[in-house]
Amino acid sequence: MTGEAKYFAQTSPNNMRNMVKTNIMGVYYGMRYALLEMLKVGSGSIVNLASIAGLNGIPFAGEYGATKHAVVGMTKGAAIEYVTSGIRINAVAPGAILTDILKEAIESGAVTKETLEEIHPMKRLGTVEDIANGIYFLASDECPFMTGVVLPIDGGYTAQ
């Protein structure tokens, strides 16, 4: 997430700048250029990567949550703007997913796997395949009437 598990007032402005560059500007540029190409053909589907931190507050991850809230806002706003252009825009909001970054955090002792599993009602971490399946569904023609949706893939976290 942030690389800094600190109270908000203890975080560094440089860390926030980096989060904005990656999580907000990265999505902005990706969407902007994809939309320009999709407008030429009159159709398309974009699936952004948000987070449960963009739907709920997450302690010690204020900067990360703020940038993921921005992804949710860009997704929903652009979905409405391009709905009549044949372009659907959605996002997924993963919970704790066992990625290489999370594995490193567990191995370093920064967090325990058990603690992360406990925050999810399913009592397990998600897998990259869980997220890929959600992205595949949202990008597919299986949901042509779905746009502006932020799909939590979080083992029930946001249902609490």
Which of the residues are catalytic?
64
What does the block give as tokens for 152?
């939590």
**Contact partners, residue 128, CB within 8 Å, separation at least 6:** 97, 98, 99
Tokens of residue 157, six digits: 């976290």
User: Which residue in the block uniquely carries the two structure tokens 């806002």?
Assistant: 73
Contact criterion met (CB below 8 Å) for 72 and 114: no
**Contacts of 84 by beta carbon, 8 Å cutoff, 6+ apart:** none
Task: Fill in the amino acid letter for 147.
Answer: T
